[in-house]
Amino acid sequence: MVVKLNLIAAACENMGIGKNGNLPWRLKTEMEFFTRMTSATKDKNKKNVVIMGRRTWDSIPKKFKPLNNRINCVLSKSDLDFSTYNDVYGFKSLEECIKRLESDEFHGKWETVWVIGGSNIYKDSMESEHFFRLYLTKIFKTYDCDTFFPNMPGNVKKVSDPDVPEEVQKEDDVEFVYHIYQNPNFET
């Protein structure tokens, strides 16, 4: 099974995505969107994969580790011990992770692969031949951030997805919209 990387991120007006290892905003609707997109499968016998860097893993509150009903893949140069968790695997690189997902060990176990951060993992994923789509929530407000979403490839094209609302969303005084960009080298 060929791995297609779907990236999912939220960024404010200055393309900030984080501050001190946390999200700089609290948007319940956007978090529910993230959970639904990364969890939902058409085949109830399969799970989706979420690929993240070690700092993103560390930023997940303990009570939410691992991300429920998903196969968690954590990329780190260090050896990490995930033996106390179910469905959590450590890899040294994105390519090593992709090779394992394409192997017999994982064949038939997963449906969609989601990249959930951080910045370097997003950059590596968009530079990969496996980059398929970017689901980017654009928040119409500027927050103080120390981590930013990398520059998108110039050749991506905007597409739609029937599972993603196209109209502007609003929560409290914050407006945001979901955008989907596709690598033109992939057909849907």
Q: Cis ω on the peptide bond leading into residue 24 (within 30° of 0)?
A: no
Output the pTM of the full model.
0.96
Split at pLDDT 50, 70, 90, the class of 15 is very high
Q: Give CA separation, 117 vs 60, 106, 159, in Å.
A: 12, 22, 22
Q: Please state the domain extents for the chain.
A: 5-162
Question: What does the alpha-carbon distance between residue 134 and residue 99 come to, in Å, rounded to a whole number?
Answer: 21
Catalytic residue among 7, 30, 101, 136: 30
Residue 21's alpha-carbon distances to 45, 74, 128, 148, in angstroms, are: 33, 16, 25, 12
- CATH number belonging to domain 5-162: 3.40.430.10
Kindly tell me if the per-residue pLDDT of 183 is higher than 70: yes
Confidence of residue 126 (pLDDT cuts 50, 70, 90): very high
Q: Is 27 a catalytic residue?
A: no
Q: pLDDT-derived band of residue 186, with 50, 70 and 90 as boundaries?
A: confident
Burial call 100-129: b when 16+ CB within 10 Å, e when fewer:
ebeeeebeeebbbbbbbbbbebbebbbebe
Mean pLDDT of the chain: 95
Asked if 23 is an active-site residue, the reply is yes
